[in-house]
Amino acid sequence: MDDEGKSLWEADAIACRLSRNTHSDFWRTGDDEPDMIRWLSWGKEHFAFACDTVHFERGTKQRYGIGPIDQERVDEGLSHFRTAAAIIEAVLAQRQWLVGNSVSFADFRMATFLPFNDAARLPLDDYPSVSRWYRRLEEIDAWHDPFRGLDAPELPPVPPTVTN
C-alpha cells in the first residue's frame, strides 16, 4: 500500500493506516490501544499459531497433496489451541468483543484461521463464549463471504478420506 509517499506491506500496518485515514475505531487508539496491541501480539504467537499448525496438517497439506498428516504436529497444535482458547474463553465470557464494546481489527486478526475450520476441525464447541464470538463475526457479510464479486478460484477440496 502506498500512502503519502510511504510504502506499507504488512496487513496489521495497513489496517492501522486505513483505520486512521477513515477516522474509524476499527484499530483502537487511546486507552484501548494497549489492549489492541496485546491481542494482536498474543493472538499471533498463541491462538493463530495453534490454529495454523492444525490447519496446515489437516487442511493445507491434504488440499494440495503436500504429504501425510503428521499426527504429532496436530496433537501439539491442539494442545496449544486448548490453552489459548481457554484464555480467550475467560475473556469472552465477560464481554462480546476482544477490545471495547464493538468489533475491532483484533477480533478479525484473532479469527484468521477459523473460516477454514471445516478442514482443521478445531474443537470450537468446547468453548461456548469463543463459539458465540465467532458466530457474531460470521454474521458480518464481508467476513462470511469475503470474495463475493471477485473472480477468485475455488479452493481445491480436502480429500474426504482424511479423518485424523
98 burial level (CB within 10 Å; 0-12, 13-18, 19+): buried
Residue ranges of domains in the chain: 31-144
For the stretch 80-131, pLDDT in tens is 999 999 999 999 999 999 998 999 999 999 999 999 999 999 999 999 999 9
Name residue 6's beta-bridge partners.
3
Q: 33-45: per-residue pLDDT in tens?
A: 999 999 999 999 9
**pTM for the whole thing?**
0.89
Task: Return the CATH fold of 31-144.
Answer: Glutathione S-transferase Yfyf (Class Pi); Chain A, domain 2 (1.20.1050)
3-state secondary structure of 121: coil
CB-based contact 55:113 (threshold 8 Å): yes
Q: Which three cell numbers stand for residue 98?
A: 476482544
